[in-house]
Homo-oligomer: A and B are copies of this chain.
């Protein structure tokens, strides 16, 4: 499975996608469903699409979004409204048409023989983990989830996780659900109690880095999905590099998922959101 974008057989597609639904799921967070038959058929967990949101004379670079779920001819994207592009995205309604390049990136690429996996999601980091949780539990892998958010309402995709995971533990900054504090408290505990064979993390880089350290101490391999600003999204422009022990790699084609121990945490992540 996986490694779709890498194995010679598969290529990214440029697909005209149509909005099927676009709903607010939390404060400043939306879930958009797109009719994208060819991408839906090819996409693997952890891969993303590079979406052209702007229309008409308006110039705007594409925006990268993980595929949160994929089924039949539909893909779902879970997005947080931050600026110009996601504002426009939030304004899309059923029938609107965009174009998307995808599937892009390496995906989580879970080796066979994994029996128990721990997924750690911080905020919108839940997005690329949704599809993974579904596919793994379908494969009979035991899934534990540690999820964190500012407040309970922002624990996006929590239902999805609860429906497929063996255990979901949460933390919120305001204590409105689960532990008060950071998700790292929960992930640390689950590392001890559940003894997973693999940890997959997505969230703010500072949190991903902390979880990677926990996994390393526990001697558990760890994968992190990293964000970079992306212009082309297909490996050509070198705007998205991540510094690794094997040199600078492109998050859009060599990532966004990396082995935690190869990542040099150089603080080059995207500026903090507001």
Interface residues of A, Cβ cutoff 8 Å to B = 56-58, 84, 87-88
Contact = CB atoms under 8 A, between A and B. Distances in A.
A94 to B, nearest CB: 16
A56 B57 CA distance: 13
Nearest to A59: B58
A84 B58 CA distance: 10
Contacts of A87: 56
The complex is assembled from copies of this chain, and their number is 2
5 contacts: A56-B87, A56-B88, A57-B58, A57-B84, A58-B58
Contacts of A57: 58, 84
A174 B18 CA distance: 43
**Shortest beta-carbon contacts, A-B, top 5:** A57-B84, A58-B58, A56-B88, A57-B58, A56-B87
Among A56, A57, A88, chain B packs the most CB atoms within 10 A around the CB of A57
A149 to B, nearest CB: 28
A152 to B, nearest CB: 32
A91 to B, nearest CB: 8
Contacts of A88: 56
Contacts of A84: 57
A56 B84 CA distance: 9
Contacts of A58: 57-58
Nearest to A91: B56
Nearest to A56: B88
A57 B53 CA distance: 13
